[in-house]
Structure 1
Amino acid sequence: MPSITLYSLDGCPYCEKAHDALDDAGVEYETEWVEALHSKRDEVKRVSGQRAVPVLVNRDSGVTMAESDNIVEYVERSLA
């Protein structure tokens, strides 16, 4: 099982940006697809403290982050 999980919403352009960064860097990760309704995103809130996506969780390094631009920067600097 990959140590990286990306919490994502189908059709979300910010989530696609994060997926593209991970794919371009050749990073193995799993996607946890979330509900469209914010009120149904309890798992995202549990891991990140908020309900917005995308959220990247790297269990190996203990990093949890939101915001697609932050995720892309992290992937390019730390995982590529």
Structure 2
Amino acid sequence: MNQIHNEQTKLLATGLNNVAVAFVVIGGVTPVTAMSFGVASAPSLSFGTVAFATVWLSAGVAVHWAARRALRSLKP
């Protein structure tokens, strides 16, 4: 039963980490890409844009931390 538990835990951690990566892409990569394609210019780098990026990046870090936390329940 330990092996089943460990595999399910690893699957959960992988899923959570994939969500964390998506959050980082939304918050970090998307604004930079938008500016490089001219969709958002440098002057539009307002407080709202920075807040948007900060919230999504923080959420990504939090979900990644939860994935790492889930792995602590692995059994020998």
TM-score range, shorter chain: under 0.3
Q: Which has the larger radius of gyration?
A: 2
Q: Could you state the TM-score of these two structures normalised by the residue count of structure 2?
A: 0.25
Normalized per residue, which structure has more strand? 1
Query: Does 1 or 2 have the higher relative contact order (CA < 8 Å, sep 6+)?
Result: 2
